[in-house]
Structure 1
């Protein structure tokens, strides 16, 4: 199906380099094959990160992950263990990891502009001892993703600065995005016919309460 993207012409990497140039040597060489002391401390204090994975069909997925600081366990300088908590059961990340094993992580610490990025290979395990180690709120993790670290590097804070990410919602963006409504009611409105078959009356106002109750009772 034709889309707006068809109006534009892709360019080569050579052309991209012609426009943006090349990084300074110290930036090009900053990637390390293992976690250093600072990267380990940063990850240990990160309550939020994003995980990018690729499926067998090449389709990418990026999933937000949040937990109390320290929930991502550093098993050694080459290995991370990520807990899985109750969620929507789509399992996109698990589907991709079991198909290709590739994973990319970006760790954030509130108040800091810079981030730590980790790339590597991953697999999923149900090892009871590891799941217990990854407990939160006295509940073991549902599953664990073990990451074999291949690359670690810090990234400058320009993206966070431009986004004013840690400055709070002083611009009223949440209100503007939801038009004063709730996220779930609005996000399913465009799929009402399909979703109505499975949710029924919840589409007409009760869904927010159901989701909010789930947040309160099934966070861990």
Structure 2
């Protein structure tokens, strides 16, 4: 972490913070489905998504609450799902700063967001992590014939998908040639896979409108970005 001295006053001091009541006044409240979509395990859709993900970010915090967010890139399938409640994340040779590892050693809380090239939606996983140097696990997480340097084992607490407005606004994916989006969705739509994964929960929230989720997402992506 940087130890550079922060001036007594910065540009942030020109603005007045607002409380959560004001935030809710501005943005409103989520629909029942959105509010209830989190689950405590990795289902088939999320497992498929993570297996095809080549880019993800890992957020950690130290004992005083200071955050770090580290980007990770790897071939598809590098993050392993050991069971529906456990992920194993490989570490490759890097700059040796080890901010993520220092944080995890002090505070196990982690948050991950996964992306699949060509897919607008993302998957988020929150949980508690620890570090492992187990040789068999490092070999399992290997790439290009070399074992992982270390493994981050994540005990999953929350799993949920997120709509693709941020990706659409950023125009993030411009023609991935590997076809990972088609492989992940089996040529279908992400919305259909989300519905299939959480049909019971969605039925209680949406009733007979479950089948309209894909159309709703497309409408939001087309008209609700700004």
State the TM-score bracket (shorter-chain normalisation): 0.7 to 0.9
Residue range with higher mean Cα deviation, 54-63 or 72-81:
54-63
Aligned-pair distance for 1:58? 1.1
Corresponding residue to 2:69 among 62, 67, 70: 62
Runs (4 or more) in structure 1 with deviation over 3 Å come to none
Matched, 1:104 2:76: no
1:9 aligns to what? 16
SS at match of 2:37: coil
Instruction: Describe how 1:30-179 pairs up with structure 2 within 5 A.
Output: 30-167=37-174
CA distance in structure 1 between the partners assigned to 2:140 and 2:43 by the alignment: 22
CA distance in structure 1 between the partners assigned to 2:162 and 2:65 by the alignment: 25
Q: CA RMSD in A?
A: 0.8
- For structure 2, the residue ranges without an aligned partner over 5 or more in a row are 1-7, 176-226
CA distance in structure 1 between the partners assigned to 2:174 and 2:145 by the alignment: 33
Residues 58-95 of structure 1: per-residue CA shift (max 9 Å, x gap):
11000000111000000000000000000000000000
TM-score, normalised to structure 2, is 0.73
- For structure 1, the residue ranges without an aligned partner over 5 or more in a row are 169-220
TM-score, normalised to structure 1, is 0.75
